[in-house]
Amino acid sequence: MSLQVSELRVHYRTLRGDVRALDGMSFELGDGEILGLVGESGCGKSTLGKSLIRMDGRMRHVGGRVVLDGRELPIADDRAMNDFRFKEVSLIPQYAMSALNPTRKIRRMVGELLRSRGAALDAAELERRMDQVGLPREVLDRYPIELSGGMKQRMVMVISTLLDPSLLIADEVTSALDVSTQKAVARALLGFRDSGYVKSMIFVTHDIALTHHIADTIMVMYAGRLAEKAPADALVKAPRHPYTRLLVDSLPEVGVRYAERRLEGIAGSPPSLLDPPPGCRFRARCPLAGDECAEEPPVAEVAPGHHVACWKA
């Protein structure tokens, strides 16, 4: 097991009280596994991604453990966590387009960053990896503003994985890209895993269709908790949790004319995480909800590797 997260609780401090963005998340990630993390806005997926590398000032680690390669990550201790960042856990941020210092040439910036982490710049290796994602080498002698959005994105991908981290968190990396670039980025991420630059990966997104192409396992989150986690095919083709089913049903299908049948969405919105209702958090929007749903459903393994948190599954 590469990554083990158990009962992780991370809250946001606000003036009106704690927002429970992560409320007891447990999951495991194997070596070489790519985990697609899916859910609607505010379900806690970005919070999970951030918790594993760098919590921002408003986040507070309330409970739970994160173990990476047998070592516990000190996620609440910003300073101690520095030893793990970049080397063990790395991040491709959501804002990859603006992640590079605009007033430094890329070669110099990368060199300075590596030196500050006590690593030397291996120019040959850097260029080899750039070739792999289709970046011309001249890019290194340019300023970030001279690159297109897609180039910046790929540059950040190369930089983030330069120290061969064990875990890579790719946070909404494809959200701002057009479809053809999305495909290139997805393929590059797969290439990183296959070349052994990263051992395992968490691919945070809200695009189930794209995740299906690159992820081995897909995990669906709802309101700060795990809803369903299953091998990618099983989750898309035979979802067990009603939320996953509605999520998959709301995807458009190729070849279907939606003039006859309107595309279904999911009615309602997720509950406030400031003071979440007891029991199953999807209850208010769930078509199958019954009396037992007033009690919190445990995460059960319904098939090998297929975990669902639902009484009706």
- Measured distance CA(188)–CA(190) in Å, rounded: 5
Q: Inter-axis angle of helices 179-194 and 149-160, to 10 degrees?
A: 20
- Measured distance CA(32)–CA(27) in Å, rounded: 15
- Measured distance CA(26)–CA(103) in Å, rounded: 42
CB of 87 to other proteins, least distance (A): 8
Closer residue to other proteins in complex, CB, 151/220:
151
- Measured distance CA(139)–CA(187) in Å, rounded: 20
Is 205 within 8 Å of 36 (Cβ atoms)?
yes
Closer residue to other proteins in complex, CB, 95/272:
95
Closer residue to other proteins in complex, CB, 41/103:
103
Q: Any idea what DSSP says for residue 272?
A: P
Tokens of 129: 């990896």
Residues in contact with other proteins by the rule CB under 8 A: 53-54, 81-87, 90-91, 93, 95, 98-105, 112-113, 116-117, 143, 145-148, 151, 156, 159-160
Q: Which amino acid is at 176?
A: A
CB of 147 to other proteins, least distance (A): 7
CB of 51 to other proteins, least distance (A): 12
Is 214 within 8 Å of 226 (Cβ atoms)?
no
Burial of 101 (0-12, 13-18, 19+ CB in 10 A): middle
CB of 142 to other proteins, least distance (A): 8
Closer residue to other proteins in complex, CB, 156/230:
156
Helix, coil or strand: residue 311: coil
CB atoms within 10 A of CB 116: 9
Closer residue to other proteins in complex, CB, 174/217:
174
Closer residue to other proteins in complex, CB, 82/175:
82
CB of 45 to other proteins, least distance (A): 17
CB of 236 to other proteins, least distance (A): 31
- Measured distance CA(197)–CA(165) in Å, rounded: 7
Q: Which amino acid is at 232?
A: A
Closer residue to other proteins in complex, CB, 97/208:
97
CB of 214 to other proteins, least distance (A): 22
- Measured distance CA(22)–CA(45) in Å, rounded: 8
